[in-house]
Structure 1
Amino acid sequence: MRWRDALHQPDVTLWVTVLAVSGSAPREPGARMAVQPDACFDTIGGGHLEFQAIAHARALLQQGVTRHIERFALGASLGQCCGGVVWLLFERWDAAQCAQMQQALRGEHTVCRLQALHADATGAAWGEVASLRPQLPTALHTALDQADAPRCQWLQQGEQQWLLERFPACDFRIELFGAGHVARALLPLLASLPCTVHWVDSREEMLPADVPDNVQTEWLDLPEQRVAEAAPGSFYLVMTHSHAEDQRLVEHILRRGDAAYCGLIGSRSKRQQFRQRLRRRGVSELQWQALTCPIGVAGIRSKQPAAIAIAVAAELLQRHEARQLQQQGRVQAQA
């Protein structure tokens, strides 16, 4: 389970965040887990470091400590060979902070969290970068202005220190059409990724009532209506129970022409049939080339829903990360 799944239980939870890293370490700054007296959510890298962090967090919970920073050397004492150093932040959040975090994780717009870490610090401030500027010394304003700033920064000046976290607007938006076996196997994988999922089916009874926080379900008699409403640069997965419905969806997506990915479940034979039909309906060859079918990373031949789901999730990650690198290259070129 993810650390965000504990946000509805602030009274019994302590959050552990990788604040900074020197040298080699299992997770990056910003990685987080939630620790409760009898449960843990997510991971900061596993191994003896995580074992020690969990024990430390539970001790702090018993003591009622609100905030604490601890340094861990990943050497012989922890039985790990990474050789680096990790600083972990242990903190309690009240219900208001948890609500702010839930809002930030929805990814509707970019927001930052600025948490003072010195002894007399109070709760975190939330907002856009510009609104947080007055709360930092002038010498640290450059950290707010970095175009390629890391998601998590540990800022220090003298005895004062802050955690600055950025929660960017979500650019990994998945439009999932169909609620069959593969879609249901795929959903738990997507739930654990930094994405949002809009899950559509024309059969109301197929959509479960209980879904992860980053998933929204919608029943539509004509699922292609959702294509018109989706954000530019969305990742589309078409895997409905009907070839006719699949074809209508693919046609609408290709005609839009702004998909980051358009994947259709099926064989090469299905791809060829759709190509002939859609070309007759006026879909150009250039538009057609945007379709991926079959879907999933190469080398996985199993037809089991779970295996297909893993292959598809891996392909989505590949496409998303390639797109991020491309966008970062554009930003650097313009700088």
Structure 2
Amino acid sequence: MPWVAAVARLRARREPGVLVTVATVRGHAPRKAGAKLVVGRSESWGSIGGGNIEAVAIDRARELMEKSEPEPELMDFALNDKVTGRHGVQCCGGAVSVLLEPLPVVPAVAIFGIGHVGLELARILARHNIDLHLIDTRPDMLTDERLGVLGDAMAQIHVHHTPLLPEEVLEELAPGTHVLIMTHDHAEDAALCDAALRTDGLGSIGLIGSAAKWTRFRHRLSTEGGHDAATIDRIKTPIGLPGIAGKEPATIAVSVAADLLVAFERDVR
């Protein structure tokens, strides 16, 4: 499997990994500079030459995966019969340096409702290295023309048009996904709140709306949904940073995005 495909596989599985690259070669070595190996928790793809170099690099890569904030690092190997490595001797006669680059699990966000605020929020979040899910029951909100403003996205964008039951998308989301509920329909919002509270493994759950709306929702989630107070408190409303009171879509989007960035930092600690 090509290393690019292996990196994509780890990302799709939401598993950490490490990209190992032969950075420099002096003299004779098993592989030329640029050879790559992708290491996952239980699998690896590609090769940087086998033998002690590769085995030690894999060991170190898996140690890095266990760190909360791993950083890239270089490893140097002398390939001669006077150096005994952890996994044996390689006596090609040269020297090799290997770069290990951690591939962390990227944050994931699901926006339910791609109206004025939802689209502004998507525009901001799309500039970050995240998995971004855009969900709406209205097909005209998800046209290629309307989403064209996301054409330069760094994020991997997943578009879900769900005409009837948008809450079904919740079951498809990876563990830890942050959910934002901001549809055009309060009944749809209420159904999504109830379903989100019943979905294991989600990250934060945010609901856009007024204090009056939340009072009605709390009552309904308690009486009709059967959720206790602690469970209902998982839903954050209002969303965004406190103190930013503007109601323009772009202002709300900036506030919500900033609050999410704080949550992302918290997730990696």
Q: TM-score, normalised by structure 1?
A: 0.61
Residue 268 of structure 1: aligned partner: 211
Residue 70 of structure 1: aligned partner: none
Q: CA deviation at 1:105?
A: 5.5
Q: CA deviation at 1:193?
A: 2.1
SS in 2 for 1:164: strand
Check conservation: 2:136, 2:166, Cα contact below 8 A. Answer: yes
Q: Which residues of 2 match residues 103-118 of structure 1 at below 5 A?
A: 108-118=14-24
Task: Label 1:107 to 1:116 Cα distance change in 2 as closer, same or farther (>3 A).
Answer: same
Provide structure 2 residue ranges, at least 5 long, that are not aligned to the other structure: 26-31, 79-94
SS in 2 for 1:118: strand
For residues 118 and 101 of structure 1, the distance between their equivalents in structure 2, rounded to whole angstroms, comes to 22
Which residue of 192, 203, 222 corresponds with 1:279? 222
Q: Please tell me whether residue 188 in structure 1 is matched to residue 130 in structure 2.
A: no
Q: Please tell me whether residue 153 in structure 1 is matched to residue 73 in structure 2.
A: yes
Q: Which residues of 2 match residues 178-327 of structure 1 at below 5 A?
A: 178-209=113-144, 210=148, 211=150, 212=153, 213-220=155-162, 221-281=164-224, 282-325=226-269
Q: CA deviation at 1:164?
A: 1.1
Check conservation: 2:112, 2:135, Cα contact below 8 A. Answer: yes
Supply the AA of the counterpart residue of 2:139.
E
Provide structure 1 residue ranges, at least 5 long, that are not aligned to the other structure: 1-95, 326-335
Larger relative contact order (CA 8 Å, sep ≥ 6):
2
CA RMSD of aligned residues (A): 2.6
Residue 53 of structure 2: aligned partner: 136
For residues 134 and 176 of structure 1, the distance between their equivalents in structure 2, rounded to whole angstroms, comes to 47
For residues 102 and 138 of structure 1, the distance between their equivalents in structure 2, rounded to whole angstroms, comes to 23
SS in 1 for 2:198: helix
Q: Deviations over 1:288-335 (max 9, x none)?
A: 11010100011111111111111111111212222322xxxxxxxxxx
Q: TM-score, normalised by structure 2?
A: 0.75
Q: CA deviation at 1:98?
A: 5.8
For residues 196 and 220 of structure 2, the distance between their equivalents in structure 1, rounded to whole angstroms, comes to 15
The number of aligned residues is 229
Q: CA deviation at 1:267?
A: 1.6
Q: Percent identity?
A: 29
Q: CA deviation at 1:199?
A: 1.0
Q: Deviations over 1:176-224 (max 9, x none)?
A: 1001011111112211223211111001121132444511001112101
Check conservation: 1:177, 1:237, Cα contact below 8 A. Answer: yes
For residues 217 and 242 of structure 1, the distance between their equivalents in structure 2, rounded to whole angstroms, comes to 19
For structure 1, which segment, 310-319 or 129-138, has the greater mean C-alpha deviation from structure 2 after superposition?
129-138
For residues 127 and 118 of structure 2, the distance between their equivalents in structure 1, rounded to whole angstroms, comes to 15
Q: Please tell me whether residue 169 in structure 1 is matched to residue 169 in structure 2.
A: no
